[in-house]
Each structure stands twice: as C-alpha cells, then as structure tokens.
C-alpha cells in the first residue's frame, strides 16, 4: 500500500536528515513510513502510491479552504509571470498589510516575514527592545518555532521526540526563557514576583495547538492581560495557528482580549512560506528602518507569497459565514467521534474549538502538557495507523491539533466517523 513512499523515504534518508525537512513529518511519534505526497485537491490528498486520504492536517493549518483553492492558484500563476522576486517594495505589500490591519483588532502595523518561527523570534526581539528587559515567560507545550530561546519545554515535534533540552541552545540563552504550565495563572504570578522588572513579555498560544488542541480555561487569558498591565509586560499572542482560523481577527476577536503583539503564519500565506508580526504603532515603530530593532529578509514580502495570502485572506474577509460553517463541521465531527468512543466504552476527551480539535485517550480533562502526556498515547498511535489505512490522514502525534478545512463535506465527515468506529472496534 505504501511501497513508493517506503522507497522514497529510504532514498531521502541518505541526503536529508531523517528523510524530511521538518521533524513531525517523519511519523516518529507513531512509527512507520511517512507518506510522500503527489497532489492534493480540496479535502483530499493523493500519495505517490495512488492512495487517497481525507486530510485533517491541511499542511498544518494553511489550507483552511482546502488544497489547490482555485483563486489562489490562479493568482499565483498570474504573478509568477511578473518575476518571482524583486527585492524592492511592491504595492501589494501595502495592500495585504492594510487588509490584515482591517481584519485583526488592536494592530496598526504589520511586518511580513517568511515563517512562524521568524515571526515569533522577531516579535520577541521587539518586545525586548521596547521594554529594555531580557527575560520572557512561555508555557510548557506551547510551540513558537525553532528559534533558540523558544526551544525550552516546547511542544509539537520537540515534545513528540521527547527532547528535554536541545543541544546547540546555550545555557545563557535558555536562562532567559521562563516556563510554566499552560492555564496556570498562579505560576505566572510567582515568576513575575521572582523577577521584578526583568520580564519583557509573556508569549502564549491563546488556544494551544501544539500539545493537541488545548483551550484556555475561563479567566486564563484575561489573567495574563491583567498581570501584563500591572507589571508593564507585553502580551504576545502567537496566532500562527489560530490567526484567520478561529475568527477573522483570531483569538483577540473571539474572546475579546487585547494582545500587544501578535504573530501569524500558515493561513496568512495560503501555503506559501509566510509569517508576520503586528502590533500598535507605538511598538512597531521600533522596528528597523523606522527604529533600531533590526529585522530583515531578502525574500520578505515576496510577491508570489503575498498574492497567495492576499487572495485567501480576502476570501475569508468577504465571507465570514465560512467560520460558522467550519465550526458546524467541526462540532459534527467531534460529536460523531465522541459517540463512537462512548459506544465502545473507551475513555477519551475530544477538545475542540472553531475548526481545531484533538482526541486524547484519558479520563481527565486535557488542560496542559502534563495532562496530554499522561494520556494513552500508545492507543493514539494505533488509532492513527488504523485511520490511515482507512484513508484518513490525521496528525501523526497526539501533541498536534487536527485542522478542519471548509472543503470537507458532510459525506467526508461521515466517512471519517465510520472509519473511527471500525478503527476503534479493531483496537479494542
């Protein structure tokens, strides 16, 4: 069933570390051979062996309307004809910045970069430059990309591979990263007391997607906002996953909570390598060349990436009903999965919000990284493979969120629920 993928994986391992260009793709968390893809359209992926899958990864988030969304593809084709890069400003960069500023609350200015990692790394530099402080607080199991300072108690692939401390990240850098459990305000308060006037920022996934999908508990984000205001700390919402996904304006809009800096990735580039960070003018004017916080990129604002992102964002902006449809589909899927698991008598938690969800085999609520780690992740591994055999492509780790795209039909969701039923029966 996976012959070509197996062959290509062996070949890749000779010349690419671990055979992949980003760790989670290697299926390390679940074992087996990663599938090499050939094409995708709408809700479906096609691998090199000719198998079709219903996709719940969606390139880890960007494909909110499904793969090869025609207006995006057409726009890319048109713009590719004008040159793939100028290294000079284009009108399009202002247009996408204006659109982003109009969609997202509490931001006046935005700087485009090439990945979520760059967005978070740069936002933190701005926070440090603006406050003149060095330390920051992050939450265990949150992932903010692979810049040195964020690789302390990180989620996603770092958690999947069980790497406690990353070789190459110096002790000096790691010392400025303070970590506490997600959803734990008292732990944040203690750190703030312990390091008075030393903390530049609190960075948080306002809905976490890198240890499964974990929701902020009532009062958690408000509490962070309050603590930041009391101590002149900047609150950074890492909306790389949630931005333009949970609402047009992301979690700031959804829960009506104001962040000082926001980072984006994924949907903002419609699958092209794009990220961005944004904030109020007073903070963003510190970024070079307006200010002294240096940040740059040869390919930043790349015209092909910009037109792809602009086209997708415009569609989302003009059709807010998409968010209602996504939430309905996700609720339908979550409900279906819960019925199947209840009927089979398997303890489980289905965490979901908007178009994100995750399934954890545990009897207690999954509210932080320890809870996600303590679930029956061996059962998840077997569930994953059984679903894959049935043509359902789930994230290959319990420490990742599933993403629902609007290309999914009710028939696709029913097929997924039916596959889950037979997968669970075979695993009992």
Active site residue ranges: 143, 238, 266
x-or-dash string of contact with ligand PMP, 313-352, rule CB under 6 A: ----------------------------------------
The answer to whether 241 and 63 have CB atoms below 8 angstroms apart is no
Q: Which stretch binds ligand PMP (CB under 6 A): 140-148, 320-328, 374-382, 417-425?
A: 140-148
Using only C-alpha atoms, the chain has a radius of gyration, in whole angstroms, of 21
278-307: contacts with ligand PMP (CB under 6 A): none
Rule CB under 6 A: choose which of 29, 62, 129, 145 binds ligand PMP. Answer: 145
Round to whole Å and give the CA distance between 224 and 290.
29
Neighbouring CB atoms inside 10 A of 241's CB total 29
Structure tokens belonging to residue 360:
């954890």
Buried b (16+ CB within 10 A) or exposed e, 203-220: bbbbbbbbbbbbbbeeeb
Task: Give the strand pairing for 177-180 and 135-139.
Answer: parallel
Burial of residue 246, with CB atoms counted within 10 A of its CB: 0-12 exposed, 13-18 middle, 19 or more buried: buried
Rule CB under 6 A: choose which of 238, 260, 368, 412 binds ligand PMP. Answer: 238
Q: Does 144 bind ligand PMP (CB under 6 A)?
A: yes
x-or-dash string of contact with ligand PMP, 260-279, rule CB under 6 A: -----x---------x----
Round to whole Å and give the CA distance between 267 and 275.
9
The CA-CA-CA angle for residues 28, 31, 32, to 5°, reads: 115
Sheet holding 349-353, edge to edge: 349-353, 356-360, 402-403
- Identity of the residue, 145 or 249, whose beta carbon is nearer to ligand PMP in the bound complex: 145
Q: Which stretch binds ligand PMP (CB under 6 A): 28-36, 63-71, 115-123, 276-284?
A: 115-123
- Identity of the residue, 122 or 156, whose beta carbon is nearer to ligand PMP in the bound complex: 156
Those residues with Cβ within 8 angstroms of residue 370's Cβ, 6 or more apart along the chain or in another chain: 140, 181
Q: Does 44 bind ligand PMP (CB under 6 A)?
A: no
Which residues are paired to 352 by β-bridges? 357
Q: Which stretch binds ligand PMP (CB under 6 A): 233-241, 254-262, 330-338, 419-427?
A: 233-241
Which residue sits closest to ligand PMP, CB atoms considered?
A: 116
- Identity of the residue, 19 or 141, whose beta carbon is nearer to ligand PMP in the bound complex: 141
Round to whole Å and give the CA distance between 147 and 26.
21
147-176: contacts with ligand PMP (CB under 6 A): 156
Q: Does 60 bind ligand PMP (CB under 6 A)?
A: yes
Q: Which stretch binds ligand PMP (CB under 6 A): 205-213, 291-299, 307-315, 349-357?
A: 205-213
Q: Scanning the structure block, which residue is given the tokens 């055999």?
A: 389
Rule CB under 6 A: choose which of 241, 261, 284, 337 binds ligand PMP. Answer: 241
Rule CB under 6 A: choose which of 205, 260, 368, 412 binds ligand PMP. Answer: 205
Q: Which stretch binds ligand PMP (CB under 6 A): 69-77, 116-124, 297-305, 416-424?
A: 116-124
Q: Does 143 bind ligand PMP (CB under 6 A)?
A: yes
Residue 400 C-beta: closest distance to ligand PMP, Å:
8
The answer to whether 85 and 230 have CB atoms below 8 angstroms apart is no
Round to whole Å and give the CA distance between 1 and 33.
11
Instruction: Give DSSP secondary structure letters for 107-172.
Output: -SEEEEESSHHHHHHHHHHHHHHHHT--EEEEETT----SSGGG-BS--THHHHTT-SB-TTS-HH
Q: Does 236 bind ligand PMP (CB under 6 A)?
A: no
Rule CB under 6 A: choose which of 59, 117, 295, 355 binds ligand PMP. Answer: 117
Which residues are paired to 67 by β-bridges? 42
Residue 2 C-beta: closest distance to ligand PMP, Å:
25
Which residues make up the interface to ligand PMP (CB under 6 A)?
60, 115-117, 120, 143-145, 156, 205, 209-210, 238, 240-241, 265, 275
């Amino acid at each position: 069933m996976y012959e070509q993928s197996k062959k290509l994986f062996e070949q890749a391992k000779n010349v690419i570390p671990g055979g992949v260009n980003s760790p989670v793709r290697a299926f390390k968390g679940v074992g087996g051979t990663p599938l090499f893809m050939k094409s995708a359209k709408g809700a479906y992926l096609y691998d090199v062996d000719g198998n079709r899958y219903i996709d719940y990864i969606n390139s880890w988030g960007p494909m909110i309307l499904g793969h090869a969304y025609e207006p995006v593809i057409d726009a890319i084709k048109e713009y590719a004809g004008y040159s793939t890069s100028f290294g000079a400003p284009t009108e399009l960069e202002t247009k996408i910045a204006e659109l982003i500023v109009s969609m997202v609350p509490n931001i006046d200015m935005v700087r485009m970069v090439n990945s979520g990692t760059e967005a978070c790394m740069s936002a933190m530099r701005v926070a440090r430059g603006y406050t003149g402080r060095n330390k920051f607080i992050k939450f265990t199991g949150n992932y903010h990309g692979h810049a040195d300072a964020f690789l302390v108690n990180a989620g996603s692939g770092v958690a999947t591979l069980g790497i406690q401390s990353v070789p190459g990240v110096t002790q000096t850098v790691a010392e400025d990263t303070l970590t506490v459990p997600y959803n734990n305000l008292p732990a944040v308060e203690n750190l703030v007391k312990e390091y008075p006037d030393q903390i530049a920022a609190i960075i948080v996934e306002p809905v976490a997607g890198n240890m499964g999908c974990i929701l902020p508990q009532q009062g958690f984000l408000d509490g962070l906002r309050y603590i930041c205001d009391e101590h002149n700390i900047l609150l950074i919402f890492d909306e790389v996953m949630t931005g333009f996904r949970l609402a047009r304006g992301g979690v700031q809009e959804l829960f009506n909570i104001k962040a000082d800096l926001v980072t984006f990735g994924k949907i903002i580039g419609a699958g092209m390598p794009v990220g961005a960070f944004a904030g109020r003018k007073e903070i963003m004017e510190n970024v070079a060349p307006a200010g002294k916080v240096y940040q740059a990129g040869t390919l930043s604002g790349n015209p092909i990436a910009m037109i792809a992102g602009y086209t997708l964002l415009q569609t989302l902006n003009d059709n807010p009903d998409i968010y209602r449809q996504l939430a309905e589909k996700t609720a339908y899927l979550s409900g279906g999965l819960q019925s199947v698991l209840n009927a089979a008598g398997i303890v489980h938690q289905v965490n979901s919000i908007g178009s994100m969800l995750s399934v954890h085999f545990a009897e207690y609520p999954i509210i932080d990284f320890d809870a996600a780690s303590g679930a029956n992740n061996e059962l998840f591994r077997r569930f994953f493979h059984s679903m894959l055999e049935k043509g359902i492509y789930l994230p290959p780790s319990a420490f990742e969120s599933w993403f629902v795209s609007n290309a999914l039909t009710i028939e696709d969701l029913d097929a997924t629920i039916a596959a889950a039923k037979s997968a669970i029966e075979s695993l009992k």
